């Protein structure tokens, strides 16, 4: 069987300035490359705003990243596109396509691609469809959650999401509920294949919780809660903090960074729980198992997700999950031992957390929830799907 040659677009992909940025895409693509039957060119378009916005810490140094880099056997190309923060979201897909198309034409002329792939629905999806049409190739777009729930309803963007979904040769979704949401927008449900996330089971597994707590400077006997995710309103860390007065002995670990950090710290101070809420910042991915194993319960009061990688990684560490009853979560947490559902409400969260603390399941029982998840299985399913779109 000949190698499949794939051009993949991912606006979220790790780099030296943001090593956790889209790390799940990198892990997936590294697993694809390890198979040896795919020749992958990963394009990570970098948005650069005009001066003086380019001086903002969020964008500083992006223009200095290498435009060609080998990361874990994956060739990553970083063409630049013009970004207009705050007002230019509707223009991003066209800007990405303009930046990528000349590069794609050149590479396709040197060695033809079989498929153009997008790892997010927006802005990657519409850009990938445009590039694929220009090259006469099939196209695929993956939906992960916010790219549908936010951009699928955003003024000036929703119609681009719908058009790309209708024009793409095939579509992927990380959860059945998310596929239903895509269909509700007007996308053909029959075109959507479910393709869940992967997992590094050698890294994310049960460790000795006492040793993990010692490493983090935590008491061995106190209840510990953990929440992993960007500090943004959608993730709902504020509801976890508001539950803390109802969990008087518990410690809450928040792993992540984002614009909500100051407001979350203020909430913790106002409620008198600042000494029990610990902001860990951006924890390197290979250190997350220590945080997750130190916790008795993982809490994520999120407003929307596809299939959160953090849920899967917490379960793999044997830590039960309390999250909102959204479709991806209800598909995953099908056994009460694996976790519980709570509204974005302090009392509801405190009740479910308290019940799990009072009757903790064994870590081995919880880890069984994701026994079938691996990056190897994820890559195999992805390559089979790609070959089907490319005609074998």
Domains along the sequence of the chain with CATH: 4-198+374-390 (3.40.50.2000), 209-370 (3.40.50.2000)
The pLDDT value recorded for residue 392 is 63
Please choose, from the candidates 263, 302, 257, the residue with its C-alpha nearest in 3D space to the C-alpha of residue 279. Answer: 257
Residue pair 18/5 in contact by the 8 Å Cβ criterion: no
Distance CA 127, CA 98 (A): 8
Write the pLDDT tens digit of every residue in 328-365. Answer: 999 999 999 999 999 999 999 999 999 999 999 999 99
pLDDT tier for residue 319 given thresholds of 50, 70 and 90? very high
Average pLDDT over residues 187-211: 96
- Number of alpha helices (DSSP H) and beta strands (DSSP E) in the chain: 15, 16
Please choose, from the candidates 17, 20, 23, the residue with its C-alpha nearest in 3D space to the C-alpha of residue 48. Answer: 17
pLDDT tier for residue 88 given thresholds of 50, 70 and 90? low
Residue pair 175/289 in contact by the 8 Å Cβ criterion: no
Average pLDDT over residues 23-31: 96
Distance CA 353, CA 118 (A): 38
Write the pLDDT tens digit of every residue in 101-140. Answer: 999 999 999 999 999 999 999 999 999 999 999 999 999 9
- For 17-26, 209-218, 276-285, which range has the lowest pLDDT when averaged over its residues? 17-26
Task: Give the β-pairing of 4-9 and 115-118.
Answer: parallel
Distance CA 110, CA 101 (A): 14
Residue pair 305/328 in contact by the 8 Å Cβ criterion: yes
Distance CA 386, CA 138 (A): 10
Chain centroid offset of residue 1 CA = 32
Quick check: pTM over 0.85? yes
pLDDT tier for residue 59 given thresholds of 50, 70 and 90? confident
Is pLDDT of 370 > 70?
yes
């Amino acid at each position: 069987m000949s190698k499949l040659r794939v051009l993949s677009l991912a606006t979220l992909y790790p780099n030296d300035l943001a090593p956790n940025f889209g790390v799940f895409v990198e892990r997936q693509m590294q697993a694809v490359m390890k198979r040896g039957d795919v020749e992958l060119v990963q394009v990570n378009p970098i948005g650069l705003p005009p001066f003086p916005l380019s001086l903002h810490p969020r964008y500083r140094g992006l223009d200095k990243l290498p435009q060609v880099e080998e990361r874990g056997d994956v060739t990553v190309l970083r063409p630049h596109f013009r970004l207009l923060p705050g007002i230019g979201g509707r223009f991003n897909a066209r800007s990405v396509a303009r930046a990528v198309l000349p590069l794609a034409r050149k590479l396709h002329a040197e060695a033809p691609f079989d498929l153009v792939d997008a790892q997010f629905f927006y802005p990657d999806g519409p850009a990938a469809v445009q590039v694929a049409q220009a090259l006469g190739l099939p196209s695929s777009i993956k939906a992960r959650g916010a790219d549908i729930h936010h951009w699928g309803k955003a003024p000036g963007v929703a119609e681009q999401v719908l058009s790309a979904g209708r024009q793409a040769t095939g579509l992927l979704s990380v959860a059945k509920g998310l596929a239903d949401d895509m269909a509700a927008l007007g996308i053909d449900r029959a075109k959507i294949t479910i393709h869940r996330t992967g997992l590094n089971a050698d890294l994310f597994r049960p460790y000795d919780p006492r040793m993990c707590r010692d490493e983090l400077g935590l008491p061995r006997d106190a209840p510990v809660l953990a929440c992993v995710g960007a500090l943004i309103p959608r993730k709902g860390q504020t509801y976890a903090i508001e539950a803390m007065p109802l969990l008087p002995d518990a410690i809450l670990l928040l792993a992540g960074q984002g614009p909500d950090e100051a407001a979350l710290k203020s909430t913790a101070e106002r409620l008198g729980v600042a000494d029990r809420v610990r902001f860990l910042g951006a924890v390197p991915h290979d250190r997350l198992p220590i945080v997750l194993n130190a916790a008795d319960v993982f809490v994520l009061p999120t407003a929307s997700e596809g299939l959160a990688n953090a849920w899967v990684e917490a379960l793999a560490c044997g830590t039960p999950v309390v999250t909102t009853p959204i479709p991806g979560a209800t598909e995953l947490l099908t056994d009460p031992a694996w976790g519980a559902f709570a509204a974005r409400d302090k009392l509801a969260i405190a009740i479910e957390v308290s019940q799990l603390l009072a009757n903790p399941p064994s870590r081995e029982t919880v880890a069984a929830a994701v026994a079938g998840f691996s990056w190897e299985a994820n890559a195999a399913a992805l390559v089979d799907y790609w070959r089907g779109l490319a005609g074998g």
